[in-house]
Structure 1
Amino acid sequence: MIRKLFQVAGPESRGPMTAQFVALIVYSVLQGAAFVLVVPLLGSLLGDDPGDAWPWAAALTVVALATAVAHYLQQMIGFQVALAVSHRLYHRLGDHVSTLPLGWFSGEQVGRLGQLASRGVPQVRGLLAHLLQPLLSAVLTPLTVIVAMVFYDWRLAVATAAGVPVMYLAYRWAVGATARADEAVDAAAAAANERVVEYVRAQPVLRTTGGGARGRALLERSLTEQDAAARAQTARTAPGRTAFSAVVLLAVASVIVTGAALGLRGGADIAELVATLVLVVRFAEPVSGMAELGAGLRAASGALDRIDAVLSTAPLPEPTTPGPGPADSSVTLRDVRFGYDDGVPVLDGVTLELPARTTTAVVGPSGSGKTSLIRLLARFWDTGTGAVLLGGVDVRDLTGEQLRTQVSLVFQDVYLFDATIRENIAVGRPDADDARIAEAARLAGVDEIVARLPQGWDTPVGEGGTALSGGERQRVSLARALLKDAPVLLLDEATSSLDPANEAAVQHTLDALTGRRTLVVVAHRLQTVVRADRIVFLDGGRITESGTHEELLALGGRYADFWRERGSAQGWQLARQVTR
């Protein structure tokens, strides 16, 4: 764990952490030395001339004071190092994830990253500030005592050292039982938290459908399971802790029995033997404390592993210096094959030429690879084989900054920051003036939204944009992408969940951009599809049809079926059933 701690903290933290470990070692050894000095002190007090105890009392006083000073210094250094390392860890995580491909940021990964920020880094901070000192003291202080005992009575030293392996095995068993119990408690707590949030969010549904009792039952069951897991944790960890404490006490008892046997046989000085046995009892004090460290150490070790896993994730390779940029905004895919971690191909031999300043609609059934295709253009991932070119340049030969200036992407699921409408649009280009922001807003139809809001441009949108409707959020997101003014604009189902008014506004924006930018649109809406310069039909990761709307209808293939199905769906209406 110590090696992993140094690895995760980074090279800039090695100096301060080394200083902390030196301070901890000095303190632990001084503490052991203070315990050891009790032996000659008691030996002198119990001997023929108690006056001989004064030099040992003075030595013990000096060492005790030095131990107190060392304790204060190591605590102050530990707190400073803990704060500095946690600060650097946040920066390391932030700097590193900013280099990772956008495809890495799945819901699961984002959740784990949030856990690391809220719990993982604080656990590492707690390890440095609070756990290292008792951990090292539990090892180094008894070791100092055992080494010193050799000079007093090697037989008692051997008897004491013989119990160390047994204590270690008992400790490992206790920690293992605690780890298994903690995993069950964490899972039950996560499920209970999820049920609580679900119960609160689902109140409108529960009340309007009369499902309040069912909702409470689900909540109560998850809370009962959490309580059962906590009780099981206590039942499972108690034997391990009890066994470890018992082993420590038995080890001390065996040394006391050994000392008593030596004293009865006349093989040891009684005064010195009594003092040494007092030292043995003191030896057990820091060791017993390790039983309480197991859960904290396991949590910190798990946090280190998870942080290391993120920091070990390699970013996509890119050139160190910018090369020639794209010649134009054309997009080319050459025999692209791509699949996720499960090995199932999502795109299988896709070849496509999209001239600059044209509009291409990508359609097809769910799971056909539409979103994967459009995200490969933005280099969320690298292709398995083949190449994606932008303006004749392989995207792998562009730096991240070069690619970002060339491509804008509008997602189906829009996220707005908890700021004003103006500030959310300005994210696309922070240095843009009001005129540019207003023009992007006009093209996206946001000016109409601003005009009817009391606070206008300074209207707060709330966290995630919750103060706006879904269509309004989509328009703000589109304005943000337009303000960036990238020559290639990718839209992934940007109009799929919009009402007619907002869909018309977004469609008006796309019409205004025709011939000005290269547009690649994943769409199901008929109006968006029919106006494209080219339509690509994907099925099973392959392009099965490609052409204009009229050409594909005349072909009478999958696209024609798709068109008929969409047309029929638009004519659906609810009919009232008349009963007689």
Structure 2
Amino acid sequence: MSTDTPSITPLKETWQQLMRGARGRSARLRASLIALAVAAAVQGLALACMMPLFQSLIPTADWQGALPWLLTMSVLMLISLGIRWWAQGFDYQGYTVANTHELRTLMGEQLRRIPLELLQDKRAGEVNATLLGNVDENLNYLLTVAAMMAHALITPVVVALVALYFDWRMGLILLLVFPLLIPLYRWRRPAFGRGMQMLADANQRTSSDILEYTQGLPVLRAACCTGEKAAYLSGGFLELEKIQTIGQQKGAKPNLILATVMELAVLLVVFAGILFVVQGSLDIALLAALLVIVVRFSEPLATFVLYAKVIDIMEAALGKIDALLSIKPLPQQTPAQLPDSFEICFEGVDFSYANTESATLQGFNAHLPACSLTALVGPSGSGKTTITRLLMRHADPQKGRITIGGVELHAIEPEKLNGLISVVFQDVYLFDDSILANIRMARPDASDEEVETAARAAHCHEFISRLPEGYQTRVGDIGGRLSGGERQRISIARAILKDAPIVILDEPTAALDTESEVAVQAAIDALVRKRTVIVIAHRLSTIAGADQILVIDQGQLAECGQHHKLLANQGRYARMWQAQQSIKAWHFTSSEGVVS
């Protein structure tokens, strides 16, 4: 558990966060909160009518004198109820639901703009918790809690002010007792705030652990590690339980003190009133009215600080929402440009990932001609994937520039840039939707016939036709109902349908069996015709026919050329080739492990 002490947001800033969170409905929310305060004040005036009402009825029942006060109290109560009903119309009339929907939509749009390098550092469960839990915690309980707090604070103060007119001593005692809530609340709020923020962080981590465990179950079962990973997940649950337990234990005594202080304050009012009555300086009817009023306030006063805990839950949620929305997108040059040709140039590119000391790319230069096939080879961690990520603008280089057709990437609008590039990853991600929808997502306006044409070109129409519902068959979570080769061909069909002029292939046949590899390779041949193609390759035999091969080593371009020229140079590429060829010559000849 982290030992860092989260800072507590001042109430003024929490108010500003709430108004920002309400977006275009902030004026209505502000009016609702003010109306709740007015309703509480009117309710205080209504309750104050009990003092002259009791004086009319005690000791002799003067109903003629009491009736006007009874009617006034009833009218004021109705007015208070009407104002409160209008104020909480923010909930009843759908403003809260519309606001949470708008916030989720806004954060969804923000996810599209966030540099993917930063998003990759966030766990999926944490983002999910922000989009779902934190948004719901933003405004859903605000008006209910605000009404309770106003009733516990404003209403008693109004009664006390009116009591000054009837008996200044009792009014003054009430004015000294009720404002005790403010210093008591200020005393407890930092602890509540820290607890709520720690609890929110723990809930986010637990959400991520659950999502990761659920998605990884097939791998965990295959590796017989379900118990070990479950132990890690249980550790997260125990940490969450520990934080909740500490919060309860540390809050028990202060909460008891708060309740006791307020109860003693109420008893002080009663004791003082009785003393004044015995002395003959206070009307017993007025004391009876004050006792009824004070008893009515005792519970809200004692639990006021507990209501305020919800404000700290909201503050923690608003902080996480603000943190996500405050991430700035990559800068966009204006006016935007669009390339006429599709050669790619890397010029003096330096790049380092956030929170890393060593550079991933250093002074990287490369020219990839249009309508050519360029292969990127090199050891793991050399920077091959980083090169393609920078081309897709997951991040910007710290130095140098990258151009397509002479146009720098930051001059191309993100949607336009995404439209220029198709990617076939080694690990294909399919959504739990129909095969038709998974292919069509590359071009949402494509007809069923165009989707089928792309599927035929990708050599996947045959296996799709054998499925129970054909193109309407759902592929399962992450495409789990399909084999690796089938998923790859669906991914290639998606890329064919997109018809982008630049294609990136991240070793798409590396993990496939021979039959699937042949089918996928045929699909790739259909995809790469007349396009600028970049292939990340580990098996050098698959890229021997490339127009050029870039050998990447420690973030720099070590060699560049065609296969036969690189072999003749007897450099890094030749050594990699010889090593792979020597491995192919090894084969097992018996179950005893004898090799030749």
Distance (Å, rounded) in 2 between the aligned partners of 1:100 and 1:189: 20
Are 2:547 and 1:533 equivalent residues in the alignment? Answer: yes
Alignment of 1:158-557 (within 5 A): 158-163=172-177, 166-178=180-192, 183=198, 187=202, 191=206, 194=209, 198=213, 230-259=244-273, 269=283, 271-276=285-290, 278-319=292-333, 322-323=336-337, 325-344=338-357, 345-514=359-528, 516-557=530-571
Higher mean displacement: 133-142 or 271-280? 271-280
Distance (Å, rounded) in 2 between the aligned partners of 1:53 and 1:513: 91
> Which one of the candidate residues 56, 61, 86 is aligned to 1:44?
56
CA shift at 1:50, angstroms? 4.0
- Contact kept, 8 Å, 1:346 with 1:369, in 2: the verdict is yes
CA shift at 1:284, angstroms? 3.8
Distance (Å, rounded) in 1 between the aligned partners of 2:381 and 2:407: 29
CA 1:192–1:306 in 2, change beyond 3 Å: closer, same or farther?
Answer: closer
> Which one of the candidate residues 547, 559, 574 is aligned to 1:560?
574
Kindly provide the amino acid, as one letter, of the partner of residue 74 in structure 2.
Answer: T
Higher mean displacement: 481-490 or 497-506? 497-506
Are 2:66 and 1:53 equivalent residues in the alignment? Answer: yes
Match of 2:156 in 1: 142
Higher mean displacement: 422-431 or 561-570? 561-570
> Which one of the candidate residues 6, 13, 27 is aligned to 1:15?
27
Match of 1:112 in 2: 126
Alignment of 1:15-34 (within 5 A): 15-34=27-46
CA shift at 1:570, angstroms? 4.4
Distance (Å, rounded) in 1 between the aligned partners of 2:264 and 2:563: 86
Distance (Å, rounded) in 1 between the aligned partners of 2:341 and 2:45: 76
CA 1:133–1:42 in 2, change beyond 3 Å: closer, same or farther?
Answer: same
CA 1:139–1:501 in 2, change beyond 3 Å: closer, same or farther?
Answer: farther
Paired positions, count? 576
Give the secondary-structure state (helix, strand or coil) at the position aligned to 1:423.
helix
- Contact kept, 8 Å, 1:195 with 1:218, in 2: the verdict is no
Kindly provide the amino acid, as one letter, of the partner of residue 424 in structure 1.
Answer: N
- Contact kept, 8 Å, 2:153 with 2:178, in 1: the verdict is no
CA shift at 1:189, angstroms? 9.6
1:392-437 per-residue CA deviation (whole Å, 9 max, x = no partner) reads 1011111123212211222333222233323221111122234533
CA shift at 1:85, angstroms? 1.4
Distance (Å, rounded) in 2 between the aligned partners of 1:431 and 1:26: 54
- Contact kept, 8 Å, 1:405 with 1:486, in 2: the verdict is yes
Distance (Å, rounded) in 2 between the aligned partners of 1:138 and 1:335: 66
Kindly provide the amino acid, as one letter, of the partner of residue 13 in structure 1.
Answer: R
Higher mean displacement: 226-235 or 104-113? 226-235
Kindly provide the amino acid, as one letter, of the partner of residue 41 in structure 1.
Answer: L
Distance (Å, rounded) in 1 between the aligned partners of 2:402 and 2:105: 32
Percent same amino acid among aligned pairs?
A: 34
- Contact kept, 8 Å, 1:141 with 1:286, in 2: the verdict is no
CA 1:459–1:568 in 2, change beyond 3 Å: closer, same or farther?
Answer: farther
Q: TM-score w.r.t. structure 2 length?
A: 0.85
Distance (Å, rounded) in 1 between the aligned partners of 2:226 and 2:526: 50
Q: TM-score w.r.t. structure 1 length?
A: 0.87
Kindly provide the amino acid, as one letter, of the partner of residue 354 in structure 2.
Answer: D
CA shift at 1:473, angstroms? 0.9
- Contact kept, 8 Å, 1:495 with 1:523, in 2: the verdict is no
Give the secondary-structure state (helix, strand or coil) at the position aligned to 1:293.
helix
CA 1:496–1:253 in 2, change beyond 3 Å: closer, same or farther?
Answer: farther
1:538-558 per-residue CA deviation (whole Å, 9 max, x = no partner) reads 222222222222233333333
Distance (Å, rounded) in 2 between the aligned partners of 1:428 and 1:248: 64
**CA-atom RMSD in angstroms:** 3.5
Distance (Å, rounded) in 2 between the aligned partners of 1:216 and 1:460: 29
CA shift at 1:486, angstroms? 0.7
Q: Which runs of 5+ in 1 are unaligned?
A: none
Distance (Å, rounded) in 1 between the aligned partners of 2:27 and 2:208: 41
Give the secondary-structure state (helix, strand or coil) at the position aligned to 2:366.
strand
CA shift at 1:7, angstroms? 0.5
Distance (Å, rounded) in 1 between the aligned partners of 2:209 and 2:53: 61
